[in-house]
Structure 1
């Protein structure tokens, strides 16, 4: 296999990129052309793109490792730590070992370090890199950096409730019934098209910023612009939805969900702090999870962070790795 270093995403092109991603074992929206190009446009200033393209003997695209270097000799996966929950090598399932071997061989004498974040525990990369690196005079150190709580969804809502502990089930149903009693007529609505999502994003941004001081700092003007571009583009592909919980025309909670084959992921959220006692965010999530399982989605992913409310839905944490490759 041959490795080429590219400095432009469009040297590969969206069609080839997405075609390769569709063949990966664990494709995610965070690894898509849409997401990565939006991230580079918003946050790439001062960073040097190092896109490693791996071609097979016939010259066909066999792998992509999108990296960005900050000038410190460390190359990190494109997508950043703050906004991307799952990142990885992009390669066809079953060919990851060959692609990683080519990449490691190509950089065996290079002084740079690869700092690879947000690698799933189930990804072949988590085991292949530490095993392969020594043969090329390199060291790959893998460590758990965070966890993602996951729900494996059954076929029905009743079956889901039956899986919860008695305390979890009691608390969830109590919160749902209390809000329905205090705010009768409350409805959960999903905006799936790019146009509908764009129309409801202002309410999301308002609730997101007001619900927590840290979220207000996070969602600055540049981050809002990235959200509008990246999430809007995913919605146009059917890979993003914005959910709202509304009472008498007032939005009391809002969540952005991303979708990929077999899964729905909770990306970000906000709620009306004046109604915090009624747990509108929890109630909206119950609607989102129920809708997902009723249309046959196998997995609900709370994404990074082990906040207690996620575990209260019965989620089990899965490890997320950081792998550093160097001398």
Structure 2
């Protein structure tokens, strides 16, 4: 399909085709400063491989008049129901369910973004208008220019869009050296960390280990799974690794990313036995703190999970990272460690279809009428 701006949109609908696009994807990402780990080809391809199931891949590749790739809209189409009666076709960003991806977005640099977004808009409401009912852009950074540009296009056409969710990611802005970081912790926190460290040392031989080698990563991952489930497995949701699909997804992601130096599994052991673990990603100048696990029965007064997080922050500073991103969730321990927060927004847009009206009727009759009238 060719848009009015002489842009061409190509639709990728198969995993096999998606698999072959890794190089093009990465080449385009290199032109987008500040993008997050969660829009990398590896994360989204393996998410699609394990979680797409009966849903349909709908990745939109945008090319300019010289056939150069300048934008990607990584969508998939899923069916959702309204009151169990009416099926609604919802376009969503890949990675936006189950795995807590953050900072999802279109992949396009700022220079090309206005033209690319207009091209995508024209395609979705032109050639593709009969194929979807609702478009949900999940977990975008609140400061992303995508939101303003996309909303302008909808306002210009008199169409309906709304914010349906917000969340935040506490972050730690790192100084250039560990001494400065320690000074910034304050006397009380430094004393608490020293006291907990001595408590754990009295219990046995404590050691920190960082596992990045593909040969060792599987064993470390199993330690993480065991520790995470030991802490959260009794909760209502059963923990992240309660189902086989999640285990397979993360196991494969960890193995693939270890070969590229993008994953880090950190362990705290007591007398050789892992008692705390952190699963994180290293990308650009950011360390992403993705998932912790710890044994709640192992010297709880020493807070081994807290000690391991402190150690991992120190390591990030030594590795030249500028940010530790604690990712989604305003848990008290994250807020205590953070020096700032980054807001995420989820926005929903409606097509002019009866199915979209049915969805909106569940949320407000007035807005539903606006969809039909405009």
Q: Same fold (TM over 0.5)?
A: yes
Write the deviation string for residues 289-326 of structure 1: whole angstroms up to 9, x where unpaired.
00111121100000111111112213322101112122
SS of the aligned residue for 2:53 comes to: coil
Alignment of 1:96-111 (within 5 A): 96-109=113-126, 110=129
SS of the aligned residue for 1:201 comes to: helix
TM-score (norm 1): 0.93
SS of the aligned residue for 1:228 comes to: helix
- Report the alpha carbon displacement of residue 165 of structure 1 after superposing the two structures with TM: 5.0
Q: Distance in 2 between matches of 1:24 and 1:203?
A: 36
Q: Distance in 1 between matches of 2:178 and 2:13?
A: 48
CA contact (8 A) 1:168 1:313 kept: no
SS of the aligned residue for 1:253 comes to: strand
Q: Within the alignment, does 1:305 sit opposite 2:329 as a pair?
A: yes
Q: Within the alignment, does 1:5 sit opposite 2:28 as a pair?
A: no
- Report the alpha carbon displacement of residue 28 of structure 1 after superposing the two structures with TM: 2.5
Deviates more, 1:6-15 or 1:52-61: 6-15
Alignment of 1:139-288 (within 5 A): 139-142=160-163, 145-164=166-185, 166-183=187-204, 185-212=205-232, 213-214=234-235, 216-219=238-241, 220-275=243-298, 276-288=300-312
Write the deviation string for residues 39-82 of structure 1: whole angstroms up to 9, x where unpaired.
11111111011111111111111111111111221111111332
- Report the alpha carbon displacement of residue 173 of structure 1 after superposing the two structures with TM: 4.0
- Report the alpha carbon displacement of residue 177 of structure 1 after superposing the two structures with TM: 3.8
- Report the alpha carbon displacement of residue 191 of structure 1 after superposing the two structures with TM: 0.7
Deviates more, 1:208-217 or 1:240-249: 208-217
SS of the aligned residue for 1:81 comes to: coil
CA contact (8 A) 2:96 2:139 kept: no
Name the residue aligned to 2:65: 57
Q: 1:131 aligns with which of 152, 157, 179?
A: 152
Q: Within the alignment, does 1:319 sit opposite 2:343 as a pair?
A: yes
SS of the aligned residue for 1:291 comes to: helix
Write the deviation string for residues 232-279 of structure 1: whole angstroms up to 9, x where unpaired.
211111110100001211001011110111100101110011123321
SS of the aligned residue for 2:250 comes to: helix
CA contact (8 A) 2:277 2:305 kept: yes
Number of residue-to-residue matches in the alignment: 326
SS of the aligned residue for 2:297 comes to: helix
Deviates more, 1:147-156 or 1:19-28: 19-28
Give runs of ≥4 in structure 1 deviating > 6 Å: none
Deviates more, 1:36-45 or 1:142-151: 142-151
Deviates more, 1:77-86 or 1:251-260: 77-86
- Report the alpha carbon displacement of residue 120 of structure 1 after superposing the two structures with TM: 1.1
Q: 1:89 aligns with which of 74, 82, 106?
A: 106
Structure label with greater radius of gyration: 2
Where do 5+ consecutive residues of structure 1 fail to align?
none
Q: Distance in 2 between matches of 1:177 and 1:288?
A: 18
Q: Distance in 1 between matches of 2:195 and 2:105?
A: 40
Q: Distance in 2 between matches of 1:256 and 1:106?
A: 39
Q: 1:73 aligns with which of 79, 86, 89?
A: 89
Q: 1:20 aligns with which of 13, 24, 28?
A: 28
- Report the alpha carbon displacement of residue 217 of structure 1 after superposing the two structures with TM: 4.0
Q: Distance in 1 between matches of 2:189 and 2:346?
A: 32
CA contact (8 A) 1:254 1:270 kept: yes
Name the residue aligned to 1:48: 56
CA contact (8 A) 1:3 1:52 kept: yes
Distance 1:244 1:61, change over 3 A: same
CA contact (8 A) 1:130 1:139 kept: no
Q: Distance in 2 between matches of 1:94 and 1:178?
A: 55
Where do 5+ consecutive residues of structure 2 fail to align?
1-6, 80-87, 352-374
